[in-house]
Structure 1
């Protein structure tokens, strides 16, 4: 298979990745063009020992790192809007490969030419830096005390604050009226038989806030009969997975608000 055929299906995703990494479509596209030009000039640089997307992203980041270094830059000499400027370069790359491109730890390790343990360290560092820049108050809607404690510990370890722990629909709505959170972690089935989904819907009717459902009953949310949640974690959850989803939810929420402000 030719290089062009191998990479063609992945180019739209690489453009998305490049745009988010650089902070602008112009700069991102310039890096993608530079990557393609490098492959035309030296086709042997395309590593056929790995899958095409890994080889493509590896080639792209080789160009990015050689031009961009640690300080940022644009191969067209234009300015770059640093939408991810709060995260240092290597953790930023790992974070976007994981959250935007949905690469596994092992795949990211291949792209970055690092050990999986190093990738985990990079993602942990990205979590810390994200929390430092967009630390927020988190409402936990959970009726099981041990799980609530685990969630509270995780949230605080990421640098966020727990505004309240609610066990029922009524407690959740009252907690939000007392203090608006920047993130909600919600179970579906609550202590008094009430619904975490109903509580979240009532909260969202009044406030715009990202929500992550952490539930043993995902089938109650994934019905296809109504809008489904963007973020859904199944119990029992892996701490690493939930940490990554919290980072992703807050990061994309902050980008959405930044875009709204720019439009306004």
Structure 2
């Protein structure tokens, strides 16, 4: 497999991480593009990417860590949602979120995350502990679950309530989701992509977002199909089958990054 093919295979997941970290499709994808441009210009960096995912994420994290302060203080051309994200990022250290997203969302080991972040493994473990404490302290909200598989829907209900949130409804179709959202005005939406009647969770989310801003987390078995970077895509995306710790992490990140919603 060529270097280009190796990088291409990992790009959808790097985009997922970048978007979750920044709270924005546009910002996350911009950092990914900058990472690839840096690799093209630096032969040593380019060579290191032959070794797989860890060097790719490490290259991304180095660039993001050195640039996010300046980039996130930009005003010109920023959307309202991105301005909210930038304001929050300027007040809270990103290290906790990096450690938790790398180990939970991207399934790196603590030692791999330490290599990516260029810090000791013990520091990564400490950062994860602090991040989990922040999750537990997260302000509660109401959650609409859009999922056509009953067992998964019940699993998500249990998870959401265990975090101190309230489930305001569950829907298996786009029509049900729209009706429930209109009645309950949820503070967070968890949405499957493929729904029972052949309708799309993406369309259901569009219906809900037309009523008002709300963070949406999509859950799908095929995330790479939605992370090409070619069009408007989800900011928050969880892969099926999912680990509960991953969903907890992404819920915390979505609520942290949103006042109202940050739409992808």
With structure 2 as the length reference, what TM-score do the two structures score? 0.56
Residue 19 of structure 1 deviates from its aligned partner by: 7.8
**Residue segments in structure 2 that go unaligned for 5+ positions in a row:** 1-43, 46-57, 75-88
CA distance in 2, matches of 1:165, 1:183: 12
Residue deviations 1:174-225 (CA, integer Å, cap 9, x gap): 1111221121110122223332221111111121111111123446645666
Does residue 156 of the first structure (1) align with residue 156 of the second (2)?
no
CA distance in 2, matches of 1:221, 1:206: 23
Q: Which has the higher contact order (CA 8 A, sep 6+)?
A: 2
CA distance in 2, matches of 1:155, 1:182: 12
Does residue 178 of the first structure (1) align with residue 196 of the second (2)?
no
2:235 corresponds in structure 1 to 230
* Inter-CA distance 192–9: structure 2 relative to 1 (3 Å threshold): closer
Q: For residues 53-202 of structure 1, what are the structure 2 equivalents within 5 Å? A: 83-84=91-92, 93-99=95-101, 104=108, 105-109=110-114, 111-115=118-122, 119=124, 122-123=127-128, 125-202=130-207
CA distance in 1, matches of 2:169, 2:224: 27
* Inter-CA distance 11–95: structure 2 relative to 1 (3 Å threshold): closer
CA distance in 2, matches of 1:224, 1:114: 32
* Inter-CA distance 171–8: structure 2 relative to 1 (3 Å threshold): closer
- What is the root-mean-square deviation of aligned Cα atoms in Å? 4.0
CA distance in 2, matches of 1:178, 1:169: 14
2:221 corresponds in structure 1 to 216
Larger radius of gyration: 1
**Residue segments in structure 1 that go unaligned for 5+ positions in a row:** 26-80, 258-264
SS in 1 for 2:252: helix
SS in 2 for 1:233: strand
1:246 corresponds in structure 2 to 251
Aligned residue-pair number: 188
